[in-house]
């Protein structure tokens, strides 16, 4: 077939009409399908109303020394513990180097009496015990995960058992002396 004469000029370059049409259509079509996929994928991301509830405000004033409360933040439990002097001492005197996930106590709290951690075991996602009076707190007076026996100390650090990491500290800030905003 006499293809040679069937050229078109693009930016001064001779291109066979056939190639121009085929590659042009294919490129456009592929790009279109890819772009169309995005709304479908993005629709599965958290919706605006879900995101709007991404922060939780906690009033600390009713929590007595030695007490813990659990609040819900982004659907997860957050442990807020008002630590006693003894608990703070225990957390501070621990040799950081000996820890599996070495972190000093003051890197994990903003104000010494208040320990705020996400209450999800870093092993496989169970919720450790130790919030309510009478529940086992493990060998280090912090929390104890009943699923596979991880022990956390009074700074929420992993001390014993299979969990690889310390309990996560969520992003939070003190709005005033007795109120924190998590998230």
Partner 1 sequence: MMTIVKRTLVAAGLATALVGPALASEGTGPALHKQSWGWTGIFGGYNHKDLRHGFEVYRQVCVTCHPLKHLYYRDLMKIGYSEDEVKEIAGNYEVQDGPNDDGEMFTRPATPADRFVAPFANDKIAAMVNGGAVPPDLSLMTKARKQGPDYVYNLLHGFASDAPGEPAAWWLKEREHAGEEPVFPETKYFNDYFPGYAISMPPQLHEGIVTYPDGKSPSVDQMAHDVVSFLNWAAEPELESRKTMGLLTLLYLGILTTFLYGLKKYIWRDIHH
Partner 2 sequence: MSTYTPPTWNNKFVRWFDERLPIVTLMHKELVVYPAPRNLNYWWSFGSLAGIVLVIMIATGVFLAMYYVPHVDHAFDSVERIMRDVNYGWLLRYAHMNGASVFFMLTYIHLFRGLYFGSYKAPREVLWWMGVIILFLMIMTAFMGYVLPWGQMSFWGATVITNLVSAVPLVGGDLVRWLWGGFTVDNPTLNRFFSLHYLLPMLIVAMVMLHLWALHTKKSNNPLGIDCKGPNDYIPFHPYYTVKDLFSLGVLLLFYAYFIFFAPNFFGEADNYIPANPMVTPPHIVPEWYFLPFYAILRAVPDKLGGVLAMLSAILILFVLPWLDTSKVRSATFRPMYKWFFWAFVADCLFLGYLGAMPAAEPYITMIQFATVYYFAHFLVILPALGWFEKPDPLPESISAPVTSQA
Strands 172-176 and 141-145: unpaired
Q: How far is the CB of 83 from partner 1 (least distance, A)?
A: 21
The CB-of-55 to partner 1 minimum distance in angstroms stands at 8
50 phi/psi in degrees, rounded to 5: -70, -45
- DSSP state, 179? E
Contact partner, 50, from partner 1, partner 2, none, Cβ < 5-8 Å per class: partner 2
Please say which residue, 28 or 96, places its beta carbon nearer to partner 1: 28
According to DSSP, residue 129 is labeled B
Which residue reads 């599965």 in tokens?
44
| Binding span for partner 2 by CB under 8 A among 37-45, 68-76, 136-144, 173-181 | 37-45
The residues carrying an active-site annotation are: 148
- Kindly state the smallest distance separating residue 74's Cβ from partner 1, in Å: 13
Look up tokens 């994990």; give the residue. 108
Helices (H), the chain: 17-42, 48-52, 85-93
- Residue 48, interface with partner 2 (CB under 8 A)? yes
- 24 sits near partner 1 (criterion: CB under 8 A): yes
- How remote is the C-alpha of 20 from its chain's centroid? 49
Quick check: 4 binds partner 1 (CB under 8 A)?
Answer: no
- In angstroms, the first-to-last Cα distance of the chain is 68
Binding of residue 22 to partner 1 (CB under 8 A): yes
Interaction between residue 72 and partner 1 (CB under 8 A): no
Query: What does residue 93 show for φ and ψ, rounded to 5 degrees?
Result: -80, -5
Calpha distance 128→136 (Å, rounded): 9
- Per-residue mark of binding to partner 1, 41-60 (x: CB under 8 A): -------xx--xx-------
Q: Which residues in this chain contact partner 2 in the complex, by CB under 8 A?
A: 25, 29, 38-40, 42-45, 47-50
Q: Which residues in this chain contact partner 1 in the complex, by CB under 8 A?
A: 17-18, 21-22, 24-25, 28-29, 32, 48-49, 52-53
């Amino acid at each position: 077939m006499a293809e040679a004469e069937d050229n078109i000029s693009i930016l001064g370059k001779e291109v066979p009409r056939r190639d121009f049409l085929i590659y042009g259509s294919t490129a456009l079509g592929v790009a279109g399908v890819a772009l169309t996929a995005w709304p479908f994928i993005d629709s599965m991301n958290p919706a605006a109303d879900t995101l709007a509830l991404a922060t939780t405000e906690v009033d600390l004033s009713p929590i007595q020394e030695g007490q813990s409360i659990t609040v819900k933040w982004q659907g997860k439990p957050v442990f807020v513990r008002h630590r006693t002097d003894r608990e703070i001492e225990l957390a501070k005197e621990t040799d950081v180097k000996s820890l599996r996930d070495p972190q000093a106590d003051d890197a994990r709290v903003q104000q010494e009496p208040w320990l705020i951690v996400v209450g999800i075991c870093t092993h496989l996602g169970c919720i450790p015990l130790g919030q309510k009076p009478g529940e086992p707190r493990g060998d280090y007076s912090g929390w104890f995960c009943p699923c596979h026996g991880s022990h956390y100390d009074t700074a929420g650090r992993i001390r014993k058992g299979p969990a690889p990491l310390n309990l996560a500290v969520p992003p939070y800030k003190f709005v005033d002396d007795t109120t924190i905003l998590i998230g």
